[in-house]
Amino acid sequence: MKVHSFILIVFTLFLTACEDSKTNNNSTNTIISNSTETIPDNGRTPLYLEGVSATSNNHEVDYMFDKRDDTYWKSKKGAASDEGIMLSFQNKIFIEAIEIIEAKGDGIVTVNDVILYGNEVPCGNGGMGKLILIGDAYSSLFIRFGDTDKMSEVKIEDNAKKGVVQKFSKSHSIGVKSIKIWGKSGKEYHLIPPRKVNGRIITTSTLQANSKYSSSNLFDNRKESAWVEGADGSGVNEQLTFEVFQVVNIDAIQIWNGYQRSPNIYNSNVRLKGFSLGEVGGKLYEYTLRDATAGQKIDLKVPLKSNFKLKINSAYDGSKYQDLGISEILLFEGGKPLQIKLNLLENPIDLKTKGTNLEPILDIRIANEMDYEPSGFYADRSIILRSDGSFSMYLMEKLYADTKGGSGEIFESMASGIWEIKSANATKSIIKLTGKMVDLSAALTAQKGDNEQAETIQYFMDELTIEKNLISGKEVLDEIVIR
């Protein structure tokens, strides 16, 4: 939409509060995801999120929606650029514009720009506290934070390369106070995250290592992680017991079946087929899932009002392994999403890195901007290895047009997934990355209709070696200098 048109839409925001108190806009109500509310909140259209997650300090994300003046989400200290927030919607929604309100406080730095990805494709960019136009419909929106203040650079120059290593203050964080989104006709959504109830999950088994396949993965808003059972066989008769410490009235459940880290891993492992669900000590009712990666919502025969359990009755065979996985669960009360909030202990990865050369780079963005003059290309690379076992990586390379075979084209991609330690000591560590890479250059080309058959997603594994102030990979990542 053109800028002058959007100015008119913004102006209508001041008028809609009065109008909405008298009438309902049917076209807007049709995009409310499973909402039972019909009266907008101060002129805003209620929108119940399927989930919201952050790449850093994920347990604080609800602070962006609690309407309190003294709370906000902030990243871990030392984590800034390339951290982000994922908003997942129950259905595809039209987003005209978004505004990210920056938090203010001690140790919070200024973010200079944000980059938006709708369904993993770049869809807009701009500044914090300013309207960013989008004008399209998406089922997910990822907010990536770009440059910040409190950044410093260390110059690097040798026979092979020349450039800088970017460093962010280890005593500062980025923070977000709130997020605002507008839909059709300039109507602002009232963003409502899933209700959280305190509780815990007891499993009859979990595949080793427990931290990687923990039942906590069922409510982390990340489809690429999963709970995986650890018993012999295909998981039949294994059970999950959900203890809730608050009053609930669960009338539906949505399950993302299998281990969805990649299509290959999904097919290689066992998936849930038939299961029984009911309150502990009461009758269990039988349900069936399809062999599909999409979230499957099931209306329960009898609502759950207290502790309940899920028992595995049958399964779809895996092509390679006998381990059954479930990636994510979402509960519902009268159409409104609900999640169990788990009290998690210190992440085991923190303990495994103590005394190794991984410890000082954990949860820190390592970034380079380098000219590789002999080879004739420029590279902008960054990686974050997080203490929760996740990682983010952004890669951009440009071949110079005046070099042999150079075209001047830019190749840009982003990757995310999980990492694990193969070996680690004070001088050398080896880690394994497993993740999904989005070819942003190909995605933009496909979006424009120039090459709709372009392959935009690649699932990969890479082995990184960290030694002598260098991170080097074998498959996807070439190198990143540490200083």
> How do residues 171-201 score in pLDDT, each as one tens digit?
999 999 999 999 998 999 999 999 999 999 9
pLDDT at 59: 87
92 against 388, higher pLDDT: 92
Please report, as a single letter, which amino acid is at residue 336. Answer: K
Q: Tell me the pLDDT band of 10, cut-offs 50, 70 and 90.
A: very low
List pLDDT tens digits, range 252-262: 999 999 999 99
Predicted confidence (pLDDT) at residue 5 exceeds the cutoff of 60: no
- Reply yes or no on whether the pLDDT at 479 is more than 70: yes
Residue-averaged pLDDT of the chain: 87
**Looking at domain 197-342, does it have CATH number 2.60.120.260?**
yes
Name the pLDDT band for 407 (thresholds 50, 70, 90). Answer: low
Tell me the average pLDDT across 90-111.
96
Q: Across residues 163-171, what is the average pLDDT?
A: 93
Distance CA 469, CA 483 (A): 6
Quick check: 17 pLDDT over 50?
A: no
Instruction: Find all residues with CB under 8 Å of 411, minimum gap 6, and list them.
Output: 396, 397, 398, 439, 441
Domain boundaries, the chain: 3-151+171-192, 197-342, 348-481
- What band does 452 get if pLDDT is binned at 50, 70 and 90? low
Query: Mean pLDDT lowest for which of 40-54, 334-348, 386-400?
Result: 334-348
pLDDT at 344: 60
Give the gyration radius of the chain's Cα atoms.
23
Spatial CA neighbour of 400 closest among 370, 376, 375, 372: 376
Q: Is the pLDDT of residue 419 over 60?
A: yes
User: What is the pLDDT, as a whole number, of residue 446?
Assistant: 66
What mean pLDDT comes out for the span 88-109? 96
**Segment 282-294 mean pLDDT:** 98
Give domain 3-151+171-192's CATH architecture: Sandwich (2.60)
What's the pLDDT band for 442 if we cut at 50, 70, 90?
confident
Contact between 72 and 63 (Cβ < 8 Å): yes
Write down the residue that tokens 């907008």 correspond to.
Answer: 40
* Rounded mean pLDDT, 415-438: 94
Residue 263, pLDDT score: 94
List Cβ neighbours of 235 (8 Å cut-off, separation of 6 or more).
Answer: 229, 270, 272, 312, 315, 322, 323, 324
Cα–Cα distance measured from residue 187 to residue 183, given in angstroms and rounded to the nearest whole number: 5
Say yes or no to pLDDT of 385 above 60: yes
Mean pLDDT of 138-160: 94
Instruction: Check residue 366 and give its pLDDT.
Output: 94
Contact indicator for 364, 78 with CB cutoff of 8 Å: yes
Return the higher-pLDDT residue of 17 and 373.
373
Torsion, Cα 224 228 256 274, to 10 degrees, reads 160
Query: Per-residue confidence at 212, pLDDT binned at 50, 70, 90?
Result: confident
Given a cut of 60, whether residue 430 has pLDDT beyond it is: yes
On the question of pLDDT at 404 being above 60, the answer is no
pLDDT > 50? residue 30 = no
Is-same-fold flag (3-151+171-192; 197-342)? yes
* Residue 438 backbone dihedrals phi, psi, to 5 degrees: -105, 120
pLDDT value of position 455:
74
* Out of 269-283, 306-320, 365-379, 425-439, least confident range: 365-379
* pLDDT of 35 above 60: no
Mean pLDDT to the nearest integer, 272-279: 98
Q: What is the pLDDT of residue 28?
A: 28
Confidence of residue 20 (pLDDT cuts 50, 70, 90): very low
Residue 100 contacts residue 179 (beta carbons within 8 Å):
yes
Distance (Å, rounded) from C-alpha 193 to C-alpha 88?
Answer: 10
The region of weakest confidence among 5-9, 339-343, 406-410 is: 5-9
**Residue 40 above 70 pLDDT?**
no
Q: Which residue has the higher pLDDT, 454 or 209?
A: 209
